[in-house]
Amino acid sequence: MNKIIHTSDWHLGQRLEGQDRAAEQQAFLDWLLVETERLGADALVVCGDVFDVANPPIEAVRMLYGFLARVRQLCPNVILTGGNHDSGARLDAMGTLAAELGITIIGGMPAAASDCILPLRDRTGHCFARLAAVPYLRSGDLAAAAPDEDTAAQHGRVLYSIKMLYGRVLEAAEASLQSGEALVVTGHLFARGGTVGEGERAAHVEAGNLLAVPADIFGKRTDYVALGHLHRAQRAAKLPPVWYSGTPLPLTFGEADRGQSVQLIVVDGGAVVSVEAVGVPRSSELYDIDGEREEVFARLAELVAKHGAGSPRAWLRVTVKEREPDPGIRDAVGDALADSSLHLIAVRRSGAGAGGALADRAPEQRLDELAPEKVFEILHQQRFDCPPEAAVVDAFAELLQGVLTAEDAT
């Protein structure tokens, strides 16, 4: 039997409302090294969003290189593909060096579909599976838009283009497939049946509703579809089996209430015989407290008792429902956390609406708490009274990537 670890959406370099999370990300990578060795994994497949931004901080790049150098000593097949948060060109450039270590990185879609097809060999050199490693597909990979294309035509063109592209990849994969080999296909996209979790961007919901691809684009012969993009670990379809591994760390407070995992796929005799979620431990907890003043401070007392000064750091965000404005609330919360390992990120205030006398208002947010994509979504909503469509979000992401790349070049 052979084992494949499927993971995605690491978002290395990601900050939690402005706070550095390098220690948590390194802790995950260290854990993954231990698990790779413990499980005796024959392949590690990372399905996109390796980094959080197209121009990642140096520390995140250093972290990835250090991990790759070590994991290749433990696992004969290490493959990374690009996601929508990654710069495909940057990952492809890294791939040139990584190839010298026997690691494959496919940042952007290759010109030839056959370049996506990789043999997965065990430690004896036996090929137990073929991997069709497809990265996130950008607008340049798809059919060109027609003049004056309306929204419905655009959605149809995008879905048709994705189907045709996967058709070419699968044709190349099946042509190389030998008896006794399983077929594994990757992607970084929305699959029909996938669920967007709380805390993910509104644009994810919009794009998922409009551009979710059906499972049949992955072919009838495929034994396992390894996807990235959605942050919740889940199976999106049964035939073929389509799985999201989800994020290994909660990226927002909205994702803190569910566990994170990687997927372990067991292959035997050319077939997938089991799929198991392996839980990822947290090195830092996230707490999001919301309530009236008395409720908040009672909960804070419980957390302080749990997280003493010598315990691992935990992140905390507090939203207080106020009947009347209290300018000293942040200082009061800070005082309550003395002698604890709780790191206060923000204290937000919202109207309590006592007896309906005050209208509820959304918690305040500072500009530095928001990602550029979120600022764009808010401004679009204010200007046009609707969220941006998926194509507009993608166009903004490409413009942002271009700006970041230009800044990096200077």
Q: What is the mean pLDDT of the chain?
A: 89
Q: How confident is the model at residue 410 (pLDDT cuts 50, 70, 90)?
A: very low
Burial of 132 by CB count in 10 Å (0-12 exposed, 13-18 middle, 19+ buried)?
buried
Question: How large is the angle between the packed helices 202-211 and 151-176, nearest 10 degrees?
Answer: 70
Q: Could you tell me the strand order of the sheet in which 224-228 lies? A: 117-121, 127-132, 182-188, 224-228, 242-244, 234-237
Domain 286-366 part of CATH 3.90.550.10: no
In the chain, residues under CATH classification 3.60.21.10 are 2-279
Q: Classify strands 242-244 and 234-237 as parallel, antiparallel or unpaired.
A: antiparallel
The predicted-structure confidence for 130-182, as pLDDT tens digits, reads as follows 999 999 999 899 888 888 888 888 889 999 999 999 999 999 999 999 999 99
pLDDT of residue 405: 56
Asked if residue 136 lies in contact with residue 189, where contact means CB atoms within 8 angstroms, the answer is yes
Summarised one tens digit per residue, pLDDT across range 79-136 is 999 999 999 999 999 999 999 999 999 999 999 999 999 999 999 999 999 999 999 9
User: What pLDDT, on the 0 to 100 scale, is given for residue 361?
Assistant: 45
Q: Do the Cβ atoms of 197 and 254 come closer than 8 Å?
A: yes
Q: Where in the chain are all domains bearing CATH 3.30.160.720?
A: 286-366
Q: Which CATH class is domain 2-279?
A: alpha beta
> Which pairs from 246-249 meet CB under 8 Å and 24+ separation?
246/8, 246/9, 247/8, 247/9, 247/10, 247/11, 248/7, 248/9, 248/10, 248/28, 248/32, 248/280, 249/10, 249/11, 249/21, 249/24, 249/25, 249/28, 249/280, 249/282
Flag whether pLDDT at 200 surpasses 70.
no
Percentage, residues of the chain above pLDDT 70: 88
| Poorest-pLDDT segment among 89-93, 145-149, 253-257, 265-269 | 145-149
pLDDT over 90 at 16, yes or no: yes
116: amino acid identity, one letter: C
